[in-house]
Chain A
């Protein structure tokens, strides 16, 4: 049905009003967040009333509380009550509780792994927790990063994690670092802590943390998760290997998926994050576990058995950093070493010239005019099922070279153009390059993929 002119005017008016309200809502949200941040700062100030916070310290730490050197050899009445269930555990007991109370643990990353790790460590009564994250909370994080919540969207992850921890256990002193851990600050921060938990999401930071832990002599509780798989290991502890002893070469950047592109089930990060908390508590409390420093636990949510434990080697005699004759004695450029860094999560690539591409609005116009063509969607079928443009043909990128004939058969005429689309506009460019090897005629990709389609053309189209 064709809408009448009055319908259209009405629609435009409503649309305008709607976006106005949305803007206003956004502004109010930001104001609330600002005030919340101020409130946290004030709260931290009153808590460590003796020393003021240096907001512009050289580390750029927005709210670092000066951690008191603790050496408490007894528990308060409140602590007996709070920790009673673990105080009566043989093998942990009051000595374990006192040990973890006097320990400091640094968690790098307040995401899917860091969230449950921080929650359990704080709840158990670890005396001092540091949490590092440079990112802010987004709604797509909440499916797994359960230390944050709806009201924290837009707020710094480190601050949000600290807020949750303070609400859960005020006896745990928490320092939030709103920063990106890198070679310039890693040693200064890590040396202040007894144990480091690697809960990051990229290879470069993993090598950085490993090297910093070796150089400062700190045990490293390493966890990782992607899709349905997870790994857990304790490195650089009791003569065991470091991360480089096991994985000496970083994976090439093009083979690495992150959770944004590869997907992850929240509970998979949860399982590994909880196990990281467990290992950190065992180390902090000096609990006996012979295998802790030389095993890699592999979790595969989709297989049977769910867990497999691999016995690791001891230190590699010629390891570049942890052996007796290391060739690496200072922190390196890890972004260069790995070919990608913490910040370029899903970098947008540009492989094609402008004449080989079409922007979403022009493509929309071409569709509206009914120009004969074929649209090939190169996402995985699981993503195609979420949403797709009517009439598009789904051929995943990795099957494309084998299925060119399918495109040829579907072409409305031998001279009709081929357009290629994907989620964000990276794979579609690779696809155009692949198709050019065997197909003649006009082949173009839709710039920015379905993400830009949703932004520029169809506001009702889902972004995931």
Chain B
């Protein structure tokens, strides 16, 4: 199994990174990532994403995850969605 996961960017997150999805390899030696590690990894990859990430909801495999829950890990093959609130109407 390849040690990769997919990130889906929605709304202002997609605008900030200019792509709607990307496949990311786990950093060497690890095959899982905490949500805090994921946040740091994404911030380093995309300089414009920081502020958006703080207010976004995360979902793994289309299921909401609590960003403060340290037991939640991103695993190979997971699809992580970054969903910022849309306010307009």
Contact = CB atoms under 8 A, between A and B. Distances in A.
Contacts of A225: 86, 88-89
A251 to B, nearest CB: 4
B87 A224 contact: yes
Given A310-B63, A310-B64, A257 B88 contact: yes
A22 to B, nearest CB: 32
Contact of B88 (A246, A262, A308, A310): A262
A316 B11 CA distance: 24
A231 B89 contact: no
B55 to A, nearest CB: 4
Interface string A173-205: 000000000000000000000000001111100
A248 to B, nearest CB: 9
Contacts of B89: 109, 111-114, 199-201, 223-226, 259, 269, 272
A247 B57 contact: yes
Contacts of A230: 86
Contacts of A249: 54-55
Interface string A246-261: 1101111001111100
A200 B85 CA distance: 13
Contacts of A105: none
Contacts of A201: 87-89
A312 interface: yes
Interface in B22-58: 48, 51-52, 54-55, 57
B7 interface: no
A308 B87 contact: no
Interface in A84-142: 109, 111-114
B87 A251 contact: yes
B64 A246 contact: yes
Main secondary structure of the interface of B (DSSP, over half): mixed
A271 to B, nearest CB: 12
B86 A231 contact: yes
B62 interface: yes
Contacts of B87: 201-203, 206, 224, 226, 251, 256, 258
Nearest to B62: A310
A296 B86 contact: no
Contact of A229 (B11, B62, B81): B11
A416 interface: no
Nearest to B55: A251
Interface in A278-320: 296, 298, 300, 302-303, 308-313, 316
A335 interface: no
B88 A264 contact: yes
Contacts of B66: 313, 316
A431 B54 CA distance: 26
Contacts, number: 100
B10 interface: yes
Nearest to A250: B55
Nearest to B63: A311
Contacts of A308: 62, 81
A117 B66 CA distance: 32
A236 B12 CA distance: 25
A233 B85 CA distance: 11
B59 A310 contact: yes
B83 interface: yes
Nearest to A199: B89
A53 B31 CA distance: 68
B76 interface: no
B10 A300 contact: yes
A224 B48 CA distance: 23
A226 B57 contact: no
A403 to B, nearest CB: 16
A206 to B, nearest CB: 6
Given A201-B87, A225-B86, A312-B64, A252 B55 contact: yes
A137 to B, nearest CB: 16
A296 B83 contact: yes
A377 to B, nearest CB: 20
Contacts of A224: 85-89
Nearest to A314: B64
A268 to B, nearest CB: 10
Given A226-B87, A259-B88, A300-B11, 14 more contacts: A199-B89, A201-B88, A224-B87, A231-B11, A231-B85, A247-B57, A249-B55, A255-B55, A256-B87, A258-B88, A259-B89, A264-B88, A298-B83, A312-B64
Top-6 shortest CB links A-B: A226-B88, A224-B86, A113-B89, A201-B89, A229-B11, A251-B55
Interface of B: 10-12, 15, 20, 48, 51-52, 54-55, 57, 59, 62-64, 66, 81, 83-89
21 contacts: A200-B89, A206-B85, A223-B89, A226-B89, A227-B15, A231-B85, A231-B86, A247-B85, A251-B55, A251-B85, A255-B12, A255-B52, A255-B55, A262-B88, A298-B81, A300-B10, A300-B20, A308-B62, A309-B62, A310-B64, A398-B48
